[in-house]
Structure 1
Amino acid sequence: MRRSRNGSGEEVKYHKLRRNVDDGFIDLQFQRPPPKIPYKAISLATVLFVIGTVLLVIGSMLLTGYIDAKYGDRTWPVIILGAIMFIPGAYHVRLACYAYKGYDGYSYDDIPEFDE
């Protein structure tokens, strides 16, 4: 119990009220669990990124004539297939890198997981 003086000089007794109300919540349930890293999805994205990059480079070499013209009929299919693999691979590898670095707005939850 504490005593203090109010503005008129009188002593006022007061004590801190205790809260005995149990609302059923604990602090731990409001904390986010550590992120689960989707290794399988990240590895697939990395494979798509690497193979797509290789196919785009080969397609570009075919298009420019750096590789012999006898393979000219394979130029556009290689470029299209490379782009189809490169775009999602690069996107998900970028998401994984930003989540790893801890940038605001990026998390491993943005990368789809493979459920077995």
Structure 2
Amino acid sequence: MTSRRRPSDGAVSVLAVAVALVLVMATVALIEVGAAVRGKHAAAAAADLAALAASRAVEAGEDGCAAAREVARRNGAEVVTCRLDAAVATVTAEVRAPRWWSWGWRSRQSARAAPSSYVDPGS
């Protein structure tokens, strides 16, 4: 009994490897997108908290930008810009995602905060 090879022999194996490769690439892409979204949210939260800290520090007679830098650092971010107009603080924070292969995501978000007395004169 002789075995004859048909041209389609092994085609399913090649197709299975191709599908597996596409699934791995899609998974890596989703992980990267997730890291970018997480970085954006982390930067926004750090900027919000840093701006609030800066505004409160200025009201207490302290250095607002130093307070903003410390709060941003505790939240895994870095203050890129800090501007104080009286007790109104405008802060831009940046978060760097862990590096995958040769690139890493960066996300910058800005926030502004003012004391409640600016909004509600009765307080």
Q: TM-score, normalised to structure 2's length?
A: 0.35
Largest Rg, 1 or 2: 1
Q: Which has the higher contact order (CA 8 A, sep 6+)?
A: 1
